[in-house]
C-alpha cells in the first residue's frame, strides 16, 4: 500500500540486517518510473488439456486478432484443484495470451467455444507497464 499522492510514509532503514540504527527511509510509492503509465493491455492465463488443443486455441485467437501473441509454455504444468467436491490433479498446457481489455469479452467467448473443458480457466491480469515499442506492437497486431 502506498501513501496518497504528495504524502509520505516511512519504513525502517535497510542499512543493517536487523534495522537497528533507528533511521527511517521516506517512501512515496512513486519510485517506479513506470508506475503512472498503466496500460489497457492484459495477459490472460488459460490451461488446456493437451498441446494440440493449446496450439489450436492459440492460432485461432491470433488469427481472429483477439490476441497479439500467445505463449504456450513448454511441457506440462501440474494443476491441483477442487472439482465437483473432490480434489483432482491434471497435467495441462498453459497459455499466456496478450490482448487488450476491450477484446477480453470476445476472447473469453472464443476460448469457451474452442475449449474442451466445461469451465476453462480464463484469468486476466493487467499489464501495468511495458516498453512503448512492445505495447505499440500489441496495438498493431490487435488492429487498434
| CATH number for the domain harbouring residue 64 | 3.30.70.120
- pLDDT tens digit sequence for 58-106: 999 999 999 999 999 999 999 999 999 999 999 999 999 999 999 999 9
pTM for this entry: 0.75
129 and 100 belong to one structural domain:
yes
Give a yes or no: residue 36 inside a domain.
no
Q: Is the pLDDT of residue 3 over 50?
A: no
Statement: residue 36 has pLDDT above 80: no
Boundaries of domain holding 101: 41-142
Residues 1, 48 within the same domain = no
What is the 3-class SS of the chain, one letter each residue? CCCCCCCCEEEECCCCCCCCCCCEEEECCCCCCCCCCCCCEEEEEEEECCHHHHHHHHHHHHHCCCCCEEEECCCCEEEEEEECCEEEEEEEEEEEEEEEHHHHHHHHHHHHHHCCCCCCCCEEEECCCCCHHHHHHHHHHHCC
What's the number of CA atoms in the CB half-sphere (13 Å) around residue 98? 18
Number of domains into which the chain is organized: 2
Domain assignment present for 125:
yes
Q: Tell me: do 26 and 45 sit in the same domain.
A: no
**pLDDT of residue 112 exceeding 60:** yes
Q: Give a yes or no: residue 50 inside a domain.
A: yes
Amino acid at each position: 500500500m502506498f501513501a496518497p499522492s504528495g504524502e509520505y510514509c516511512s519504513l525502517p532503514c535497510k542499512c543493517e540486517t536487523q534495522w537497528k540504527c533507528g533511521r527511517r527511509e521516506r517512501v512515496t510509492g512513486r519510485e517506479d518510473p513506470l508506475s503512472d503509465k498503466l496500460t489497457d493491455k492484459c495477459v490472460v492465463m488459460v490451461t488446456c488439456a493437451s498441446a494440440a488443443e493449446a496450439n489450436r486455441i492459440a492460432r485461432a485467437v491470433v488469427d481472429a486478432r483477439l490476441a497479439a501473441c500467445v505463449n504456450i509454455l513448454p511441457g506440462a504444468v501440474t494443476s491441483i484443484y477442487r472439482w465437483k467436491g473432490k480434489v483432482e490433479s491434471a497435467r495441462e498446457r498453459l497459455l499466456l495470451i496478450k490482448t487488450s481489455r476491450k477484446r477480453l469479452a470476445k476472447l473469453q467467448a472464443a476460448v469457451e467455444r474452442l475449449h474442451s473443458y466445461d469451465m476453462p480457466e480464463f484469468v486476466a491480469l493487467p499489464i501495468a507497464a511495458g516498453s512503448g515499442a512492445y505495447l505499440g506492437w500489441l496495438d498493431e497486431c490487435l488492429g487498434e
